[in-house]
Structure 1
Amino acid sequence: MTAESRRASIPFVDSLVQNRYWFAAFLALVLGCDATSPGSGPPLVFAQLDAGASATCGVTVDGAGYCWGDAWTSGGGGTSKPVIAPRRIAQDHQWLMIEVGRALACGLTVAHETLCWATGFPFDSAPKRVKGDPGFVTISVGDNHACGLTATGGAWCWGDNFRGELGLAYPDYLTAPRDSAVQPAGGQSYVALRAGPESTCGLVANGDLFCWGGSEVEGDGFTPHLVQAGFGFTTLSFGGNIAGRGRACAIAADSLSCFGYEVHSALAQPIPTTVTLPAGAAPSQATVGGIFEPLVGLPYVYALHECGVSTTGAAFCWGTNDYGQLGDSTTVDRATPSMVAGLPVVAAVTAGGVHTCALTRDGTAYCWGWNGRGQLGIGSSQDHVTTPMEVVSPR
């Protein structure tokens, strides 16, 4: 089983990847391609990928960071023009991982320094070091807050605490988001940590699950509290939408359990419930995502989808599918996992707002679903696509 994550990552890149990269570079040189045009340069070979609300970011095998979609994620400042192809960010840094939420993005450098950028205070469009950063081995970004995990299992969080997502025993209704890392109450040592929509969850060594913050996942608990004991969870994934309706999934042995907001019944499931998987599709990694969207004539509608990768490298998604985010060539909602169409062997998958991306074992990125902000990285901002499309080369 892979490490817990909403993000997608792969641990290795074989010689095929390197040959693919240099062969494409050779063709670009010989044919005189314009390096500023999407798809004209050598293809990117990714080691990590993360889909946010309406943007996507990733790190290549050589540590370069790229983002696309909402312009603020790639240094676009206040511009509203979508970034429709990967754009290099912070070229003076080498990255291990980059995560993106709704209005906050953070990256972990090879020096284990954490930098964040955002749409507004306390971070801006230029990456800024998180104050009090003790040196994390992994980070996770929710909507407007983020958390990091140290090598010794220490949890630290920063950003918005309006719903208690930092775990400080109280919400900050009148206090601006924090640019310094603070430790949640309780003093637990965690083996996995995930930030979601206005919420955070962590796994301890015995497989028990603790959550804090405010959403259907943890019931407005401002300090870490035990959600479920005895499941023996080993991996954790957490997502949801930008209105605070969240959902978490965790893997125990060869079963996948999810809890929180249930999209098909519009009810909360406070206890982890086993997801029925197709025959032979033992889970190796799972991810959840979603978005909150107003519709004309209706008060609100919630969209939520979940995805996972089987041990054989097949990607499955289920939930709402109004923009084709399940990748099965339809816009039909699915209550049970449906295989994503036309993908090579998948290493990991990441579900964003109403779009999804996958990372194949050769480092190629594919995305599908809603593309109104260019978050698919396919070189256009066509409304949506219902099957995977390869992310193009940088502009």
Structure 2
Amino acid sequence: MPKPLESGSISSDTVPLIPMSAGATHMCALTTNGHVYMWGDNRYYQLGNGSTTQSTEPTDTTWGLVSDKVVDISCGYNHTLALTNGGHVYGWGYNGNGQVGNGTGNNQSVPIQVNGLLESCRVVSIACGVNHSMAVSDTGAVYSWGYNDYGQLGLGHQTGQTLPVLITHLDNIFICRVVCGYNHTMVLSDEGKVYMFGQCDGGQLGTGNTALQTIPVQLDNSLGRFLDIASNRATNISAAITLEGRCYVWGQCQPLIGNTRYESLHDIFAVFSAPTVTYESVVLSDLLDNPLNANMDEAFDDRNTSNFKIIVEGKPIYVHKEILRIRCQHFRSLFGNNWPEGEKEELELDQYSYEVYKSFLRYLYTGEVCVAPEDGIELLDLAESYCETHLKQKCVRLIRNGITVDNVIPVYLAAIKFTIKELEDLCFTYSLAHMTRVTQSQACKDMEPKIYKDFITKASEKGAFRH
């Protein structure tokens, strides 16, 4: 019986969190040096620390790995999988359906190596559905275990498994990636072919019907060679992108309307999933990997080292003139010899809110945009006013991933104002997918008559009001 990894304390060389994964009520994050941090609910041992005490702060659950370090993580509803650089898989948490893979139906209080994966099997990809688990080996073989009432294990039957089982229906097909939806699974082969199995009540298998599939079924081969696939435990949506950059989405979502081009699969999920989610973790800034970035972040708003302060809404933000002049043309002009501001020690501004202006100044120090999506429009306006093209692009990406029924019309109007056709088209497509709720929003009712008329006319031409 493989031994569980031992619990360890927080390391002194902790680095920022990179991949993250969320369960129903627990979170898991991984650092660049292989440390796993967990927090949230723990009634089913989701945190892997041997207790059922919940944690409101990230707790190191790395367990003192010596030869291997964790390189990937995935959360199910109440269980978690971790993959090490040695190709080993560990699981813990709720195990009522065998999803931890320890050969029992008992909950697992600490991480334990998954049984049933042969010693010669080196795993390179893992994924969790709600209550099922998947792994892909470096030989292209696929293993599945856990809940199987909808055939999401791809084994040709609907019997759950407490140990990993090889999917023989994928023999002679080299699989390189696996992702899981709520109760369905997608795999991608090295030839760019997509195979799917499991629940299909919302059309998430892309078969043209709603019948569940217990064995892998290939997605329409005429769509082209696929580069990547996406699904998410919280949704019944499937998506894929081809080598040519064409994105496809299917399942419990509105169909693609119009010719809007999406830059990534994240954009697809931002528009078509409910709730709005990302299909996988978004990489966060790793400041400590770059000492210069770390020092710049520490210098921002530091009263002790600053030589200038900007006051917004009566609150000071401490900055350095030299950094602002280097990073921004607006401040190069402002602090020039011909302007009195160049001789002052402070400047009071009232064009933008405190939070947005502080986020702008932080961007000049770190290159990162740290602002809530709902404030993205105001920051976009600032970027346009200050001729900050790179910041403008970051704002557009931020806004794209934060579009909701409540803000889609304000974003749509901002896109028109700043002539961002790509964002305008995205908002229009999103509105078509949620037309009833969007047209009932106050923002839609407050639109200028001409813009409103053009919007309704375009929507009508796309069939939004057909019965």
TM score, norm. by length of structure 2 = 0.49
Measured after TM superposition, the shift of residue 61 of structure 1 is: 1.2
1:191 is aligned to 2:164: no
Match of 2:138 among 151, 162, 169: 151
Secondary structure, counterpart of 1:251 in structure 2: strand
Instruction: Please tell me whether the aligned partners of residues 104 and 145 of structure 1 are also in contact (alpha carbons under 8 angstroms).
Output: no
Instruction: Please tell me whether the aligned partners of residues 184 and 224 of structure 1 are also in contact (alpha carbons under 8 angstroms).
Output: no
Count of equivalent residues: 264
Query: Quick one: distance in 1 between partners of 2:259 and 2:129?
Result: 27
Match of 2:46 among 73, 77, 102: 73
Match of 2:162 among 174, 178, 181: 178
Change (3 A) 1:80 1:91: closer
Query: Quick one: distance in 2 between partners of 1:286 and 1:136?
Result: 29
Q: Which residue is equivalent to 1:57?
A: 28
Q: Which residue is equivalent to 1:391?
A: none
Instruction: Please tell me whether the aligned partners of residues 249 and 257 of structure 1 are also in contact (alpha carbons under 8 angstroms).
Output: yes
Query: Quick one: distance in 1 between partners of 2:257 and 2:13?
Result: 43
Query: Quick one: distance in 1 between partners of 2:137 and 2:95?
Result: 27
Instruction: Please tell me whether the aligned partners of residues 166 and 182 of structure 1 are also in contact (alpha carbons under 8 angstroms).
Output: no
Q: Which amino acid aligns with 2:19?
A: Q
Q: Which amino acid aligns with 1:86?
A: P
1:249 is aligned to 2:239: yes
Instruction: Please tell me whether the aligned partners of residues 56 and 69 of structure 1 are also in contact (alpha carbons under 8 angstroms).
Output: yes
Instruction: Please tell me whether the aligned partners of residues 141 and 166 of structure 2 are also in contact (alpha carbons under 8 angstroms).
Output: no
Q: Which amino acid aligns with 1:141?
A: C
Measured after TM superposition, the shift of residue 103 of structure 1 is: 2.1
Query: Quick one: distance in 1 between partners of 2:56 and 2:75?
Result: 16
Q: Which residue is equivalent to 1:129?
A: 113
TM score, norm. by length of structure 1 = 0.57
Query: Quick one: distance in 1 between partners of 2:22 and 2:406?
Result: 22
1:282 is aligned to 2:241: no
Q: Which residue is equivalent to 1:222?
A: 214
> Which one has a larger percent helix, Structure 1 or Structure 2?
2
Secondary structure, counterpart of 1:137 in structure 2: strand
> Which one has a larger percent strand, Structure 1 or Structure 2?
1
Q: Which digits, 9 at most, give the CA deviation of each residue in 1:250-285, with x for residues without a partner? A: 1122232211111xx5xxx6xxx588656xx62276
Q: Which digits, 9 at most, give the CA deviation of each residue in 1:311-340, with x for residues without a partner? A: x7774687xxxxxxx646x772769x99xx
Q: Which runs of 5+ in 2 are unaligned?
A: 1-8, 101-107, 206-210, 284-392, 413-467
Instruction: Please tell me whether the aligned partners of residues 185 and 224 of structure 1 are also in contact (alpha carbons under 8 angstroms).
Output: yes
Q: Which residue is equivalent to 1:213?
A: 198
Identity %: 19
Secondary structure, counterpart of 2:170 in structure 1: coil
Q: Which digits, 9 at most, give the CA deviation of each residue in 1:337-377, with x for residues without a partner? A: 99xxxxxxxxxxxxxxxxxxxxxxxxxxxxxxxxxxxxxxx
Q: Which amino acid aligns with 1:166?
A: L
Q: Which amino acid aligns with 1:46?
A: L
Measured after TM superposition, the shift of residue 80 of structure 1 is: 6.9
Q: Which runs of 5+ in 1 are unaligned?
A: 1-34, 293-301, 319-325, 339-395
Instruction: Please tell me whether the aligned partners of residues 38 and 58 of structure 2 are also in contact (alpha carbons under 8 angstroms).
Output: yes
Q: Which residue is equivalent to 1:260?
A: 251
Measured after TM superposition, the shift of residue 96 of structure 1 is: 0.9
Change (3 A) 1:195 1:286: farther
Q: Which amino acid aligns with 2:225?
A: G
Measured after TM superposition, the shift of residue 132 of structure 1 is: 2.1
Query: Quick one: distance in 2 between partners of 1:206 and 1:90?
Result: 36
Q: Which digits, 9 at most, give the CA deviation of each residue in 1:108-166, with x for residues without a partner? A: 11221101112234441211211122220121111111111112211111121121111
Query: Quick one: distance in 2 between partners of 1:77 and 1:287?
Result: 38
Q: Which digits, 9 at most, give the CA deviation of each residue in 1:215-271, with x for residues without a partner? A: 331240110001221332101111153xxx611111122232211111xx5xxx6xx
Change (3 A) 1:43 1:289: farther
Instruction: Please tell me whether the aligned partners of residues 49 and 56 of structure 1 are also in contact (alpha carbons under 8 angstroms).
Output: yes
Change (3 A) 1:127 1:193: same
Secondary structure, counterpart of 1:185 in structure 2: helix
Instruction: Please tell me whether the aligned partners of residues 199 and 214 of structure 1 are also in contact (alpha carbons under 8 angstroms).
Output: yes
Q: Which residue is equivalent to 1:102?
A: 77
Larger radius of gyration: 2
Match of 1:113 among 77, 80, 88: 88
Q: Which digits, 9 at most, give the CA deviation of each residue in 1:66-120, with x for residues without a partner? A: 1222323313667474x32211114223211111111221001122110111223
Cα RMSD after superposing both structures: 3.8
Change (3 A) 1:274 1:117: farther
Change (3 A) 1:333 1:164: farther
Measured after TM superposition, the shift of residue 203 of structure 1 is: 1.5
Change (3 A) 1:54 1:251: farther
Query: Quick one: distance in 1 between partners of 2:33 and 2:238?
Result: 32
Instruction: Please tell me whether the aligned partners of residues 141 and 195 of structure 1 are also in contact (alpha carbons under 8 angstroms).
Output: yes
Change (3 A) 1:145 1:333: farther
Change (3 A) 1:102 1:154: same
Q: Which amino acid aligns with 1:48?
A: P
